[in-house]
Amino acid sequence: MEFNLCTVLLISFTSTLLLSPQALGDFQFPDLLPDLTGVTFNTDEPTPSARVPASAPNASPSAPAPAPAQNENNNENENEGGVSTLPFVRSAVKKICGVTENPALCSESIVPHMDGQVDPVSALKTEIQAALNLTVKATEQIKSLAQQESQSHMLKECLQVCIENYEVAQEDLKQAMVALDSHDMGLLRSVLSSVITDIGTCDDTFAEAPAIELPLKDELVKTLHELADNCMDISSLLN
């Protein structure tokens, strides 16, 4: 194997480098990497995006609980004042009022005030009270009219007759209540008959006066007569 001079020199130089580390001190290696001065490296690990749980769908509002069904018969069994008007009450009153000349008015004036057992005595008491209440109302109206200075002397005299007889009718109706409680049928029918006469006397007074009319509503006077007649008719059911 032949070596020329260049080969020998190269081998010698290489050996020197390998065997003598001091020789490397002044040796400059060529730049093999790019200059990374000023370059910033982000060593932070990327933060995983928070997983937002899917919101649950809005629950539909629960429907309100249905209100308890009311008894449809309540309106039939109670009047506006809350007093019982059960079918058996209406039926019993209708039967009693059947003996009167004015059964419709009789039922209308009794049924709203009845609650529980119905018999001729309780029905008659209620009808007497209705007659008494209306008589008091009519008396107050007549007294108010009689106090007006603009009224003629004749009219005031007629009104005074009505006042006196209506007041007597009130006392007769109160006496009828007492007679009913004591089961005095003779006295009961006597005073009820007097009530009819008392109311009629007022009518007769104006009928006999020329060109003067009773200044009360016809319906009020008519109802007074009918209630008085009903009381007398119902009393016929009592022994």
Q: How far from 181 is each of 9, 125, 172, 176, 228, CA to CA, in Å? A: 161, 9, 14, 9, 19
76: in domain: no
Asked if residue 174 lies in contact with residue 134, where contact means CB atoms within 8 angstroms, the answer is: no
In this prediction, residues 24-40 reach a mean pLDDT of 46
Check which CATH number belongs to the domain holding 111 and give it: 1.20.140.40
- pLDDT score of 99 more than 80: yes
Asked if residue 223 lies in contact with residue 102, where contact means CB atoms within 8 angstroms, the answer is: no
1: in domain: no
In this prediction, residues 25-53 reach a mean pLDDT of 46
Structural domain of residue 163, as residue ranges? 81-235
Question: pTM above the 0.85 mark?
Answer: no
**Domains in the chain, number:** 1
211: in domain: yes
125: in domain: yes
What confidence category does residue 97 fall into, taking pLDDT thresholds of 50, 70 and 90? very high
* Count of other CB atoms within 10 angstroms of residue 165: 24
67: in domain: no
6: in domain: no
Full 3-state SS string of 78-97: ECCCCCECCHHHHHHHHHHH
Per-residue pLDDT reduced to its tens digit, 131-172:
999 999 999 999 999 999 898 999 999 999 999 999 999 999
What is the C-alpha separation between 176 and 195, in angstroms, rounded? 10
136: in domain: yes
- pLDDT score of 14 more than 60: no
CB burial of residue 224 (10 Å; 0-12, 13-18, 19+): buried
230: in domain: yes
Per-residue pLDDT reduced to its tens digit, 162-183:
999 999 999 999 999 999 999 9
- pLDDT score of 192 more than 90: yes
What is the C-alpha separation between 141 and 163, in angstroms, rounded? 9
